[in-house]
Structure 1
Amino acid sequence: MYSTFFKHYWLKSVRAPGYYKNLIVNIFVGLSAVYFLVIFVLLGFMMPRILAEAAPKLDPALTFNGILMYVTVLALLFRFLFQPLSTINLQSYQVLPVKRSKLVNYLLIKPLLNPANYLTLCFAIPFSVTGIHPAYGLGGAFRFVLIVIFLIWFNTLFASFLKRKFGSSITGITSFLLIVAGLAALEYFNIYSLFALSQQVFGFLIENPIGWIIVLVFSGAAFLLNKGFFAQNYYPENFDRKTIRKQAETQNFTFMERFGKIGEIISLEMKLVLRHKRTKNVLYTAVLFLLYGLLFYPSDMYKENDAMLMFVAIFVTGIGMILFGQWIINWEGSYFDFLMTRDIDTQSYIKANYFLLLSLSIVSFILTTPYFLFGRDILINHSVAFLYNAGVNIHVYLFGATFNTKRLELSKGSAMNMQGVSYKNFIIIIPLLVIPMGLIGIFSLFSAKNIALIILAVLGLAGIVFWKQLLKVTEKQFLRRKYALCEGFRKQE
């Protein structure tokens, strides 16, 4: 029976109208997977040397055991935020002589068979040879690999349970982030060392011949938690009640009506963002990526890399605009025909999307002002990046959106979901990030970075000053492409 389920899933995928149209995207994803696979393998062999340099007084295996609990918690957080839930057309099988337990087991086993989950083994197996084997022997290395596999199972299943139980609610995500931040704070202020606890726990699991069984038991417990959830929420009407309640919570944005027709359209866009899984996931992702600068600004490695610092500045100051801008018209694909029959003029529609992206860019810039503490150069970079985002990138997104005719399914999560993505999403990165990075990089070679910053700032200011004229160009392009968009959005992948 399980083989039949997987066969149906495969046939559904390959028979989808958009399966072969996404060939370029699939090739890009495949090449990216090969790239990361090679990186993980090399990192696995090099990790003992890296850990020895970072903590010369500790054995690399002990150091890794100390950070493994942090890695597990962060991986769980990542899966909770981005892992898509396994689905099945339940009502089609409920009228057939198929046991409920088999359907539930299929939903739980399916994500465990995803090859992407096991990319971690490309790191774990080499590290078990170079790092674990010298400290714990051959048996310890073998048990380490088993423990990593069962941790993957536990994280996959437990993240699915948390996501099904709490959904994508801001309360659940905030609570999870606070727990992770609290653990980091306890370690930082030397109140309690999770590092030491992790060393003891994973040292015991690797040394003990039956240690891997303990991790397997945790995986089994996560499996049973999911089964218990499905026992109470098997029928679709249970989820319908939750959907109705969530819609009621987000139905009023009356304060936007004071801005007339444009305000009403923005209000509808805000409701769309807060009511659908994919757009909410993008919103949470944008909040998380506000911290992206912390990977670069504190490090001395990037202080002389002006092009990379400009990339980070554009990315964090415009993260809301960047993530939502790529779907600015596509996310309305399900009811685009309806919109085109309403009393909404093109000018108001384009202006509403412009002000929505501008608002997201302003909010992102304000939220990243704490980065100014890293120095005057960061303040200048962020200010120039904001001007470039507001004056150039917004118009690039609005104009480019008229070419993307792939309908976006909002009911599905955004993580690891390439539905609605085409090569056009990658082409738009060129004016968005590559041009400013290239400009800064070239002028920096001649010690004239400030000239590049002035050019980018002037371009941004020009786009802000002449925004009405630029929007008229987008309006004309939208009118030329309107029927192509309607035709494209009617097709389902």
Structure 2
Amino acid sequence: LVNYLLIKPLLNPANYLTLCFAIPFSVTGIHPAYGLGGAFRFVLIVIFLIWFNTLFASFLKRKFGSSITGIASFLLIVAGLAALEYFNIYSLFALSQQVFGFLIENPIGWIIVLVFSGAAFLLNKGFFAQNYYPENFDRKTIRKQAETQNFTFMERFGKIGEIISLEMKLVLRHKRTKNVLYTAVLFLLYGLLFYPSDMYKENDAMLMFVAIFVTGIGMILFGQWIINWEGSYFDFLMTRDIDTQSYIKANYFLLLSLSIISFILTTPYFLFGRDILINHSVAFLYNAGVNIHVYLFGATFNTKRLELSKGSAMNMQGVSYKNFIIMIPLLVVPMGLIGIFSLFSAKHIALIILAVLGLAGIVFWKQLLEITEKQFLRRKYALCEGFRKK
């Protein structure tokens, strides 16, 4: 049974789509330099690399699953390797050329890759042997539940703390919300695509877009689902002893916490200069004072229930045109404001306007939440009806 589970993915034709590129390249690129034998060895090496990647990826997934530690370690390794390449400390591209050159030239090169594939197979088999017994499944379930039930410290903040604790458990217990959490961590590196490049240094609107995106990535990704991710049990939630004010405040503080965490994690971008520091500070104020309230108010119009048990990759379930409309005040308005004032060399005025709007939203947060609370009460029954539909 274990052998079947391990070999079955290797028979998936989708894994071998790479050969559509590898075989023509072996004819046009490898054959002229290394001859027919080299071209044949190259194709074998690619096949065995596919086996190795499939088996090793399966092992990592079984070993670490969706744990924060595994994702964080992967991101750190990728970021470290990218930094080595970017700062010309060590070229991985040159190393890969040398490795592939050696494997193709050496008559037993393909055997080396086959050995690595066999090692990956044995790693998986050993993992199955150690862990896949019924009693181990029970221990894993108990441990997983314990990991997501340690937010009792939030209860000291009263009803609002209890609701936030439930929201945090919801995030960590469901596949889709966990995937979004890992996506948010990955998007924290989004600024590295823009800030080091000279191409965008004069594009103030784009730099503001990046600043708002990375400093509010947690709030942006989770904010679009802030009410409809509870659609499966929304009727039950409405029957509980939870007043609307506490419910709205809990969601507000949850999004605010995500904004603060995102801002803190993006402070290393300040090394790119004073302009980035100013952009990020203004973007944080705008996210905390404007965008959060826009999300909370707009969430009352989204009546599509979100299925949390499904993954988020290529999954548009629960997403409607309303999710895209709400992006206008979130991203388009500040970009447009910065772009227009930059045409007149008055970018600083746009920054002041955005900062003042953000500060006003932070200072008058209670009054703004009262508006959202009244809107929620008007839309509550429409939300209940919409969430009942599958």
TM over 0.5: yes
Deviations 1:261-315 (A, max 9, x none): 1122112222222333433333333233222212221221211111211111011
Report the CA distance shift for 1:428/1:125 in structure 2 as closer, same or farther (over 3 A).
Answer: farther
Mapped contact 2:216–2:263 kept (Cα < 8 A): yes
Mean alpha-carbon deviation: is it higher for 175-184 or for 407-416?
175-184
Report the CA distance shift for 1:182/1:432 in structure 2 as closer, same or farther (over 3 A).
Answer: closer
Deviations 1:333-379 (A, max 9, x none): 33222211100011110110001101111121122222222212111
Deviations 1:448-492 (A, max 9, x none): 32232233223322322332232223223322332333344344x
Report the CA distance shift for 1:464/1:225 in structure 2 as closer, same or farther (over 3 A).
Answer: same
Report the CA distance shift for 1:376/1:411 in structure 2 as closer, same or farther (over 3 A).
Answer: same
Report the CA distance shift for 1:442/1:473 in structure 2 as closer, same or farther (over 3 A).
Answer: same
Mean alpha-carbon deviation: is it higher for 472-481 or for 181-190?
181-190
1:321 CA displacement? 0.8
Distance (whole Å) between structure 2 residues aligned to residue 442 and residue 145 of structure 1: 55
Give the fraction of aligned pairs with identical amino acids, expressed as a percent.
Answer: 98
Distance (whole Å) between structure 2 residues aligned to residue 305 and residue 130 of structure 1: 42
Report the CA distance shift for 1:188/1:379 in structure 2 as closer, same or farther (over 3 A).
Answer: closer
Mean alpha-carbon deviation: is it higher for 293-302 or for 177-186?
177-186
Report the CA distance shift for 1:417/1:464 in structure 2 as closer, same or farther (over 3 A).
Answer: same
Q: CA RMSD in A?
A: 3.7
Q: Is 1:125 the equivalent of 2:12?
A: no
Report the CA distance shift for 1:403/1:159 in structure 2 as closer, same or farther (over 3 A).
Answer: farther
Distance (whole Å) between structure 2 residues aligned to residue 438 and residue 120 of structure 1: 42
Report the counterpart of residue 74 of structure 2 in structure 1: 176
1:244 CA displacement? 1.8
Mapped contact 2:75–2:186 kept (Cα < 8 A): no
Report the CA distance shift for 1:190/1:289 in structure 2 as closer, same or farther (over 3 A).
Answer: closer
1:212 CA displacement? 4.9
Deviations 1:393-421 (A, max 9, x none): 11222122223333334344434444433
Deviations 1:415-460 (A, max 9, x none): 4444433443333323222222233223323333223223322332
Partner of 2:18, secondary structure, is helix
Deviations 1:92-127 (A, max 9, x none): xxxxxxxxxxx8778667867889877877876887
Deviations 1:166-197 (A, max 9, x none): 22223333444555566678889999876654
Deviations 1:138-183 (A, max 9, x none): 7756765665565455334322221212222233334445555666
Q: Is 1:394 the equivalent of 2:292?
A: yes
Q: Is 1:478 the equivalent of 2:376?
A: yes
Segments of structure 1 that go 5 or more residues without pairing to the other structure are: 1-102
Report the CA distance shift for 1:479/1:108 in structure 2 as closer, same or farther (over 3 A).
Answer: farther
Distance (whole Å) between structure 2 residues aligned to residue 362 and residue 309 of structure 1: 20
Report the CA distance shift for 1:443/1:112 in structure 2 as closer, same or farther (over 3 A).
Answer: farther
Report the CA distance shift for 1:187/1:447 in structure 2 as closer, same or farther (over 3 A).
Answer: closer
1:218 CA displacement? 3.8
Mapped contact 2:215–2:284 kept (Cα < 8 A): yes
Report the counterpart of residue 348 of structure 1 in structure 2: 246
Report the CA distance shift for 1:250/1:181 in structure 2 as closer, same or farther (over 3 A).
Answer: same
Deviations 1:201-243 (A, max 9, x none): 2112334566456545544554554455445555676434312
Report the CA distance shift for 1:334/1:222 in structure 2 as closer, same or farther (over 3 A).
Answer: farther
1:386 CA displacement? 0.8
Partner of 1:403, secondary structure, is coil
Mean alpha-carbon deviation: is it higher for 257-266 or for 150-159?
150-159
Report the counterpart of residue 322 of structure 1 in structure 2: 220
Distance (whole Å) between structure 2 residues aligned to residue 206 and residue 169 of structure 1: 38
1:317 CA displacement? 0.7
Distance (whole Å) between structure 1 residues aligned to residue 322 and residue 27 of structure 2: 43
Q: Count residues with an aligned counterpart.
A: 390
Mapped contact 2:171–2:178 kept (Cα < 8 A): yes
Mapped contact 2:179–2:312 kept (Cα < 8 A): yes
Report the CA distance shift for 1:441/1:230 in structure 2 as closer, same or farther (over 3 A).
Answer: same
Distance (whole Å) between structure 2 residues aligned to residue 235 and residue 125 of structure 1: 42
Partner of 1:192, secondary structure, is coil
Segments of structure 2 that go 5 or more residues without pairing to the other structure are: none
